[in-house]
């Protein structure tokens, strides 16, 4: 574990849509800046994902230079380009709505109906886009929290601020399946090079650019990993079928590590491709069923 470095950085501005690959990213208390701060909800104000609507993987947010200071560009097949402005914290005109993300019910801001209509038309469902304001604090599962002050919070992610996977682990998985699996299927925030396959299982406490990270829980995987990001369709049972043969525990399969972190005054709390990883303390990992 001496030459491990960051090889990819990803954010997913709108939950369950396509990710955005970046060379550098700012780390905030609830995760990477802009990561899963927006979310689509159904008529019952509950989050929707690719689990129910695989077509969501065809919607592509991006940060383009000509609109970056203003907001997100969003594209989808046969749809006009959509611009989503960054919410202005000084404006109090946004409708506040109570939304549900997994077991958490939190306050969010509804942006506007024109944006809702764009997503509703493409997905052929009645949905709304909401944004998590800074005032909304969504705590992580207390069983895994590292802060006694309740400082461990998440955005609209599945439960933790960041997810880490190594290139070697994906290479090993690809050697076991008969389809080409890209990293996009697994939706990591941080990808590492220089590891052995699944060496991230033993990452306990480590640092990147002076920021303390803690691998607190292996990531259990769901049917989203079986959706082809290029087609928006479930074309096989892979990779869940293969993962179940060597990465299974209590009827769940695991791939990647969920992270918590502590911001630091020693750096700018920014991660960059090429940043080295410094191991502070290793963990035993978990024993998988075979």
pLDDT, tens only, 142-181: 999 998 888 999 999 999 999 999 999 999 999 999 999 9
pLDDT at 290: 64
What pLDDT was estimated at residue 68?
A: 56
pLDDT for residue 65: 66
Residues 72, 259, 138, 240, Cα dihedral to 10°: 80
Nearest to 183 by CA among 196, 170, 172: 170
- Looking at residue 66, its pLDDT comes to 62
pLDDT reported for residue 89:
63
Query: Which residue positions in the chain have pLDDT lower than 70?
Result: 1-2, 65-68, 88-93, 290
**138-152: pLDDT as tens digits:** 999 999 999 888 899
Report pTM.
0.96
- CB distance 61 to 74 below 8 Å: yes
Spatial CB neighbours of 60, under 8 Å, sequence gap ≥ 6? 17, 18, 74, 75, 76
- Report the distance separating Cα 11 and Cα 34, nearest Å: 7
Whether 47 contacts 159, CB under 8 Å: no
Domain ranges of the chain: 5-282
Q: What is the pLDDT of residue 167?
A: 98
Q: Give pLDDT, residue 78.
A: 98
């Amino acid at each position: 574990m001496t030459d491990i470095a960051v090889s990819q950085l990803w954010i997913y501005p709108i939950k369950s849509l396509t990710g955005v690959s970046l060379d550098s990213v700012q780390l905030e208390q609830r995760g990477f800046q802009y990561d899963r701060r927006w979310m689509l909800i159904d008529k019952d104000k509950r989050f929707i994902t690719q689990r129910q609507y695989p077509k969501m993987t065809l919607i592509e947010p991006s940060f383009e230079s000509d609109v970056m200071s203003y907001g997100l560009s969003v594209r989808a097949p046969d749809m006009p380009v959509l611009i989503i402005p960054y919410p202005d914290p000084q404006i109090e005109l946004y409708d506040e709505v109570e939304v549900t993300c997994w077991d958490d019910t939190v306050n969010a801001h509804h942006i506007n109906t024109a944006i809702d209509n764009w997503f509703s038309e493409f997905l052929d469902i009645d949905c709304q886009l909401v944004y998590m304001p800074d005032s909304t604090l969504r705590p992580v599962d207390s069983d895994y929290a590292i802060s006694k002050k309740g400082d461990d919070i998440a955005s609209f992610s599945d439960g933790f601020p960041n997810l880490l996977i190594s290139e070697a682990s994906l290479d090993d998985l690809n050697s076991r399946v008969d389809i080409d699996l890209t990293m996009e299927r697994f939706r990591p925030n941080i990808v590492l090079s220089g590891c052995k396959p699944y060496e991230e299982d033993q990452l306990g406490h480590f640092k990147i650019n002076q920021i303390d990270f803690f691998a607190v829980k292996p990531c259990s995987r769901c049917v989203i990993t079986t959706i082809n990001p290029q087609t928006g369709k479930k074309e096989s049972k892979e990779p869940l079928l293969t993962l179940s043969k060597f990465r299974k525990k209590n009827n769940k399969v695991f791939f990647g590590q969920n992270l918590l972190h502590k911001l630091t005054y020693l750096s700018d709390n920014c991660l960059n491709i090429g940043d080295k990883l410094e191991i502070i303390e290793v963990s035993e990992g978990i024993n998988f069923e075979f």
